[in-house]
Amino acid sequence: MKLYTYEESGNSYKVRLLMSFLNIDCEKIDVDLMQAVQHQPEFLAVNPRGEVPVLVDDNLTLRDSAAILVYLANKHGCEPWWSEEAGEQAAIMEWMAFAASWVQYGVFTARAIVSFGISGNGIPHEFNEDIAPSTIRGKRSLEILDEHLTSREWLACGRPTIGDIAVFPYVALAPMGNFSLDSYQAIVGWLERVKSLPGFFPIAGLDDADYRK
Ligand SMILES: N[C@@H](CCC(=O)N[C@@H](CS)C(=O)NCC(=O)O)C(=O)O
C-alpha cells in the first residue's frame, strides 16, 4: 500500500492519524506542495485533481481523504471507527461531508491563504482566492460544531469515529488562519479528547499557530 502525502497537509494527516490508530503500515511518498509538484504531469497522472492524499492499494487508487478513511476503517475491523449499521454510517458521513464542505472551504482555506499564501484547493497557485468567504464560513462552522459538541463528547455514535478524524485537523489548526478558539470551549474540550486517543501524534502548527507567519 502506498500513500502520497505531504507533511503539512491536514487532509493527508487525517489518513496518517487513522493509520496510526489502527497500526497500519504503508509506504509514504512525499509530494512537495510548496514546490507545486502536485501540478506536474507526473503527479497529475496519479491524481488529475492535483491534490494529496492519494492511496494506492493494489489495483485500487483513492484520491480523497474521506474515501480513504472509509476504505481503511472498513478493511481494518469496521468498528469502532466506522460502522456496519446504516444509521450510524450516515451519522458518521454527515460529519465527513461537513469536513469536506464547511471545514474545507472555511477554516482550511483561511489557513492556506494566511499561512501558506495559496488557496490550497487544488487550483494552480497563480490564482488567488479572496479570504472573506472563508472567514465567514469558518466562523459559522465553528459555531455549528461548538453547539453540537456542547451536549456530546464525540461527533457521532457516542464514540470516536472517522467523522472526528475528518473534522479534527483543520479545526485544531484554525488559529493558523487567524481564528481564535477561545470562545468555543466545547470544541476545545473535544480537541483535547482527540489528542488523548492512543496513537495520536501532532501536525506542525497544532501548538504554534504562528510558525508559518
Ligand atoms: N477532497 C480532498 C481535498 C484534498 C486537499 O485539499 N488537498 C490539499 C492539501 S491538504 C492539496 O493537495 N492541495 C494542493 C494545492 O492546492 O495545490 C480530500 O479530502 O482529500
Assign 123 a pLDDT band (cuts: 50, 70, 90): confident
Which pTM value belongs to this model?
Answer: 0.97
Q: What is the DSSP letter of 39?
A: G
Identify the pLDDT of residue 128: 85
Q: Please determine, for residue 125, whether its predicted confidence score (pLDDT) is greater than 90.
A: no
Q: Please determine, for residue 164, whether its predicted confidence score (pLDDT) is greater than 90.
A: yes
- Radius of gyration from C-alpha coordinates of the chain: 16
Query: CATH topology for 86-195?
Result: Glutathione S-transferase Yfyf (Class Pi); Chain A, domain 2 (1.20.1050)
| Residue to probe by mutation, ligand 1, list 6, 7, 47, 51, most atoms within 8 Å of CB | 51
Going by CA atoms, what residue is nearest to atom 15 of ligand 1? Answer: 122
Answer yes or no: same fold for 2-75 and 86-195: no
Assign 213 a pLDDT band (cuts: 50, 70, 90): confident
Identify the pLDDT of residue 105: 97
Q: Please determine, for residue 119, whether its predicted confidence score (pLDDT) is greater than 90.
A: no
Q: Cβ(37) to ligand 1 under 6 A?
A: no
DSSP E strands in the chain: the ranges are 2-5, 27-30, 54-57, 60-62
CA atoms in the 13 A half-sphere facing the CB of 48: 0
How far apart (Å, rounded) are the C-alpha atoms in residues 213 and 116? 8
Q: Please determine, for residue 88, whether its predicted confidence score (pLDDT) is greater than 90.
A: yes
Q: Are 51 and 38 in contact (CB under 8 A)?
A: yes
Q: Each residue of 89-101: pLDDT tens digit?
A: 999 999 999 999 9
Instruction: Break the chain into its structural domains and give their ranges.
Output: 2-75, 86-195
Query: CATH topology for 2-75?
Result: Glutaredoxin (3.40.30)
| Residue to probe by mutation, ligand 1, list 3, 5, 11, 203, most atoms within 8 Å of CB | 11
Q: Cβ(50) to ligand 1 under 6 A?
A: yes
Q: Please determine, for residue 122, whether its predicted confidence score (pLDDT) is greater than 90.
A: no
Closest to 86 measured CA to CA, from 157, 165, 158: 157
Average of per-residue pLDDT values in the chain: 96
Assign 48 a pLDDT band (cuts: 50, 70, 90): very high
